[in-house]
Every structure is written in C-alpha cells, then in structure tokens.
Homo-oligomer: A and B are copies of this chain.
C-alpha cells in the first residue's frame, strides 16, 4: 500500500528531498468554479464590459498567491515560476476559473495552480459578498500536468 510521501517512518512531517530530481519544463493547469446568483453574475459581466475590475483584481490576487504557495502550504518547495496566468469564463450560472503555471524546476507546480484558483475565487467572493449571501466555491481540481525534458 502506498504511503503518504510527506510523512517519514515515524509519521513526522518533513519537506520531501528533491536534491536528486532533474529540472524539467513543467506545466500544471487547475480549475475551479464559483457559484453565484444570476444577478451577481450579471453585475460582474457588465462591469467586465466597462472596466473588468472584479476579474482584474481576482486575476492579480491569483497570480500573487501562486508566488506565495511555498509560504502558504507548509511542505511545498520554493519554486521559481516562469509563467502564471489566471482566466475566467463568466456564464449565466457560475464563474469558471483556470490557472496555468509553468516552471523549469525539479518538482511540479500543481499546488501553485490550485492555490492561484483558490485565492482568485476567494477574491471574487470577497468583492461580491455584500450583494450575494450564498456564494460557493466548488470543483477545485487539477486539469492537467505535464513534464518535458529541458533542451
């Protein structure tokens, strides 16, 4: 049976040793969904047509959070990210969020992509909570993860 990698033999937490891992080009894409009232979604969309500020703020919050992942998730390594992008699709039913993160480091960046999605979603929540009392963040998960050797 597999064991939890962050716990050593005695069950104690530690950062997994990645000294021997080879740097590669790595990419991870994560997604999530924010359930909002149709009126709130309309407000976001209309504002988006004018200034786009709610989504612009959430995009920046997600990008900055990706770069903070190592301080938020205790056993994550410090990984220099070569790209972070956060995107939104506002439908009549929800906001669909995706985050794409790339690195050329020795370990993957799925936690960075998931953190970007989560904080971007919380930022939209924060900016809409005065007009919508039933917001929900859901379906936060990894969409894809790839690894290709560096040239």
User: Which residues of A are at the interface with B, using a C-beta cutoff of 8 A?
Assistant: 1-8, 10-19, 25, 32, 39, 43-44, 47, 50-54, 56-57, 59-61, 63-65, 67-68, 70-87, 102-106, 110-111, 114-115, 118-119, 121-123, 125-131, 134-142
Tell whether, in the assembled complex, residue A2 and residue B78 are in contact, meaning their CB atoms are under 8 Å apart.
no
Contact partners of A136 in chain B: CB under 8 A: 139-141
CB distance from A57 to the nearest CB of B (A): 5
10 A-B pairs closest in CB distance: A11-B51, A17-B83, A137-B140, A14-B85, A56-B56, A5-B130, A2-B131, A19-B82, A15-B84, A136-B141
| Majority secondary structure of chain A interface residues (helix, strand, loop or mixed) | mixed
Chain B, Cβ-Cβ closest to A114: B122
Contact partners of A43 in chain B: CB under 8 A: 1-4
